[in-house]
């Protein structure tokens, strides 16, 4: 089938064996790729109650039909696993250059299972697959790991790796790639660490064939024009541009979700970042958008720092959420997290939670090894990162994530432990974005902004698919919008496209372009109705996995803080939330308790 290699590489680290499995054309048609493949494999091959650190847990990397094309927004691939942070479906996407190489090497997906007794890394060069000793890499940060593997094997390899956080099983450790791209959320890096797997390097010489190459050329030209016209702000500022909207709408999470507007906004916003630190752009394979921004700190205590970022999510999590308006320190903290392999969103939430514990007297300097862990103390933010990655002192507790940390600390801290199903929220306060409240509550991986992107239509007031205006403070109609957004991004994540070329309202790829692109690649005509049916099936499989893992409808909820403590005059009313959830369940035809 065009767009696919129809092969999956299975590697068992316990037995040190690799084998190739065929992917049937039927499965390509039914599950598309990426998230769809991940859902099918996880549901069929993993017992949902398995311990995420068991050798039985799977780490699935899956591409889709667009990966490997010379086309903007086609560099992402999907990781699926059982999450050690949440204990349910874990999923994350990463851009860069690895996905096309995996396709060129001849594989649509890579499935890792088992556990090596000693550290190893995997090297894949077309059909040659080797599991090699990685003792010389264990303990190195992710930047060093890539440098060493490339020096030893050649610059043509693309590499994903874990840092000390993954090795030490920090529950929200990420997998890093290309010194700035990550499988950030849900702890994929900890699963990789539990398998004794330090890195995977891949290089391929094949190519991806499409059914209509001339049509693809036309599509590319049109897409590039649309990108120049519609994604100007993303191209100029990267994701931090959205902070202007969260600040002005009163939805910028601040001081552990006690406020939604940051008095240090001017110091950490996109304009300031651009003026003071951004020195260049970075892009993924074949992508015209180049939303990655390289920041360099040239003077002061953090001089010498250079990082791909910070993205908006890092700016909020290590900035406003911690009351930190010192931008240099956020850039530095971003670099440290990337090197150590820490998800910046959960890391920022964990530090902000600890800061509130400290300010309320629940923990003190004896617990923090003398660190004055107050909101706004940027040096404390920097100091605590290493403690988390190496599980020292308080860092050992925070390495568990906010939910488990609050259970360990106790003393009423559970009341301000902000998480949904164990995953800490990204940078959009749902109290001022009612659609986001629903989307966070029902999301399959916990508090997530990417499964639905509901924050964008709520913030901009525009319906994601061009059907008029929406009111971010109204509960009405949000269930239909969230459900359609989830279905749309399920297809996007199965193709696997980057959602930044598929943004609500502005696209440039929305339903009709998605249908056209699928036909150009595969030669198959598909309707929106059929795409929605496929997306619903994938979401049903994931829901079923989560139910079997132990979730029930009551887990589709929000932290007490969002329902009891107003910010900017807004709370989420429990009855209204329940009505939205009822409506959402009706649309999904879910009857589960």
| Residues near ligand SF4 (CB under 6 A) | 73, 75, 95, 283-284, 287, 289-292, 498, 500-501
Do 339 and 164 meet the contact criterion of CB atoms below 8 Å apart? no
**Least distance between ligand SF4 and beta carbon 480 (Å):** 27
Q: How far apart are CA 63 and CA 99, in angstroms?
A: 6
- Taking the complex as a whole, the smallest distance from the CB of residue 464 to ligand SF4 amounts, in Å, to 18
Other C-beta atoms closer than 10 Å to the C-beta of 553 total 16
Residue listed under structure tokens 């649509």: 108
217 Cβ neighbours under 8 A, 6+ residues apart = none
Cα-Cα-Cα-Cα dihedral sign, residues 431, 575, 505, 343: positive
- Whole-number minimum distance, CB 486 to ligand SF4, in Å? 20
CB of 57: closest distance to ligand SF4 in angstroms? 27
Question: CB of 73: closest distance to ligand SF4 in angstroms?
Answer: 5
Closest C-alpha among 396, 413, 504 to residue 460: 504
Q: Interior CA angle at 112 toward 546 and 12, to 5°?
A: 125
CA 214-217-222 angle, 5° bins: 130
Minimum Å gap between C-beta 406 and ligand SF4 is 33
Residue indicated by tokens 């009505």: 579
Segment holding 160, helix H or strand E:
strand 158-161
Shortest Å, Cβ 312 to ligand SF4: 13
Q: Which is nearer to ligand SF4, 102 or 137 (CB)?
A: 102
Q: Parallel, antiparallel, or unpaired: how do β-strands 109-113 and 7-12 relate?
A: parallel
Report how far residue 562's alpha carbon sits from residue 253's, in angstroms, rounded to the nearest whole number.
11
- Spell out the residues 6+ positions from residue 167 whose beta carbon is closer than 8 angstroms to its own: 138, 139, 193, 198
Q: Nearest CA to 568 among 323, 262, 260, 265? A: 260
CB of 497 to ligand SF4, least distance (A): 9
C-beta closer to ligand SF4: residue 234 or 402: 234
Nearer to ligand SF4, 75 or 330 (CB): 75
Rounded to a whole number of angstroms, the minimum distance from the CB of residue 95 to ligand SF4 is 4
Output 265 or 312, the one with its CB closest to ligand SF4: 312
Nearest CA to 167 among 124, 132, 131, 134?
Answer: 134
- Rounded Cα–Cα distance for residues 420 and 423 (Å): 5
As a whole number of angstroms, the distance between CA 294 and CA 275 comes to: 12
**For residues 148 and 231, which CB has a smaller minimum distance to ligand SF4 in the complex?**
231
Give Cα separations from 494 to 64, 102, 557 (angstroms).
Answer: 6, 16, 27
**3-state SS assignment for residue 533:** helix
CB of 507 to ligand SF4, least distance (A): 12
Phi/psi of residue 362, nearest 5 degrees: -75, -35
């Amino acid at each position: 089938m065009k767009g696919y290699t129809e092969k999956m590489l299975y590697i068992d680290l316990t037995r040190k064996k690799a084998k190739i499995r065929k992917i049937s054309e039927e499965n390509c048609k039914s599950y598309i790729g990426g998230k769809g493949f991940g859902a099918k494999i996880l549901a069929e091959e993993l017992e949902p109650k398995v311990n995420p650190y068991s050798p039985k847990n799977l780490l699935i990397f899956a591409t889709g039909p667009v990966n490997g094309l010379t086309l903007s927004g086609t560099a992402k691939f999907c990781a699926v696993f059982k999450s050690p942070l949440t204990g349910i479906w874990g999923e994350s996407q990463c851009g860069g250059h690895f996905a096309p190489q995996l396709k060129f090497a001849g594989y649509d997906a890579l499935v890792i299972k088992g556990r090596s007794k000693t550290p190893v890394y995997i090297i894949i060069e077309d059909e040659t697959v080797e599991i090699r000793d990685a003792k010389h890499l264990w303990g190195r940060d992710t930047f060093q790991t890539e440098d060493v593997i490339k020096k030893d094997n050649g610059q043509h390899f693309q590499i994903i790796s874990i840092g000390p956080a993954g090795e030490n099983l920090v529950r929200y450790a990420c997998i890093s790639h290309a010194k700035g791209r990550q499988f950030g959320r849900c702890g994929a890096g900890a699963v990789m660490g539990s398998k004794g797997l330090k890195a995977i390097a891949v290089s391929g010489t094949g190519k991806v064939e499409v059914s209509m190459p001339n049509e693809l050329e036309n599509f590319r030209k049109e897409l590039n024009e649309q990108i120049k016209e519609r994604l100007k702000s993303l191209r100029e500022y990267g994701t931090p541009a959205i902070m202007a909207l969260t600040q002005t709408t009163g939805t910028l999470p601040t001081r552990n979700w006690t406020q939604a507007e940051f008095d240090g906004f001017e110091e950490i916003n996109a304009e300031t970042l651009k003026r003071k630190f951004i020195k260049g752009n970075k892009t993924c394979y074949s992508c015209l958008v180049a939303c990655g921004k390289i920041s360099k700190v040239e003077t002061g205590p953090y001089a010498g720092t250079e990082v791909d970022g910070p993205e908006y999510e890092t700016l909020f999590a290590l900035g406003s959420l911690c009351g930190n308006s010192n931008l240099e320190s956020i850039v530095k903290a971003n670099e440290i997290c990337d090197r150590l392999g820490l998800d910046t969103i959960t890391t920022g939430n964990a530090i902000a939670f600890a800061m509130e514990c400290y300010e309320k007297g629940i923990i003190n300097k004896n617990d923090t090894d003398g660190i004055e862990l107050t909101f706004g103390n940027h040096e404390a933010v920097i100091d605590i990162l290493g403690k988390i990655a190496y599980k020292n002192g308080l860092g050992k507790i925070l390495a568990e994530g906010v939910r488990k940390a609050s259970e360990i600390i106790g003393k009423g801290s559970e009341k301000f432990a902000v998480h949904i199903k164990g995953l800490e929220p990204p940078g959009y306060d749902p109290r001022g974005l009612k659609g986001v409240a629903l989307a966070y509550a029902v999301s399959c991986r916990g508090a997530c902004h990417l499964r639905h992107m509901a924050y964008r239509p709520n913030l901009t007031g525009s319906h994601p698919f061009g059907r008029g205006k929406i009111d971010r403070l109204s509960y009405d109609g949000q269930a239909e919008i969230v459900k359609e957004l989830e279905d749309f991004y399920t297809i996007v994540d199965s193709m696997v496209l980057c959602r930044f070329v598929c943004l609500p309202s502005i696209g440039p790829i929305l339903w009709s372009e998605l249908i056209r692109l699928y036909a150009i690649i595969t030669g198959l005509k598909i309707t929106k109705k059929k795409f929605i049916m496929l997306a619903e099936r994938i979401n049903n499989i994931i829901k079923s996995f989560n139910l079997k893992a132990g979730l029930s409808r009551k887990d589709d909820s929000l932290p007490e803080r969002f329902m009891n403590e107003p910010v900017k005059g807004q709370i989420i009313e429990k009855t209204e939330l329940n009505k939205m959830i009822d409506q959402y369940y009706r649309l999904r035809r879910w009857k589960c308790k």
